[in-house]
Amino acid sequence: MRNTKQKTAIKEILERGGHLSAEEIYVLIKNKMKIDISTIYRNLNMMAENSEVEKITNPEGVAIYHIKSEHHGHLICRSCNAIFEIPCDLCEQLHTLSKDMSFVDTEHVVNIYGYCRNCKGEK
C-alpha cells in the first residue's frame, strides 16, 4: 500500500495516541484536507490488513483503531466504551503454546469486557 497524503494524515492522528473510530478520525481530519469518510474506512481497513493498525470492536459493535504496538490486551468498558491498554503476559504464553504445538500463529487478540472504575457502581 503506497503512502498517500490521506493515509499519512490518518496515521499521524492515530500516532497521537488513543483508540478512535473512523468517524472520530474524520472529524479530526476533515478541516485539514478534503477527504471522504469512505476514504478513511478504506485506508484503515488496508492498514489493518497490513498490520499497521489494530482494529478492535467496542461493545456497541463500532470498529476502533489504534497504532499496532507490542503485544498487549485491552480492557473495554461495556458502559462508557472506554478502552485501556494492558500489558499481556498471556500473549507470549499463547505464542509459546502455539509454537510448542507446531502451529504458526499469525494473530491473537485479548479483549476483556466489563466495567471501568467510573461505571462499575452503575451496575
Q: Give pLDDT tens digits for 79-121.
A: 998 898 888 777 778 888 999 999 988 777 788 999 999 998 6
- Give span(s): CATH 3.30.1490.190, the chain: 72-122
Helices marked H in 16-114 = 22-29, 37-49, 89-100
The answer to whether domain 5-67 has CATH 1.10.10.10 is yes
CATH architecture of 72-122: 2-Layer Sandwich (3.30)
Per the rule left: phi > 0, alpha: psi between -120 and 50, beta: everything else, 51 is left
pTM score above 0.85: no
**pLDDT of the residue at 121:** 66
Q: Which residue has the cell 509459546?
A: 96
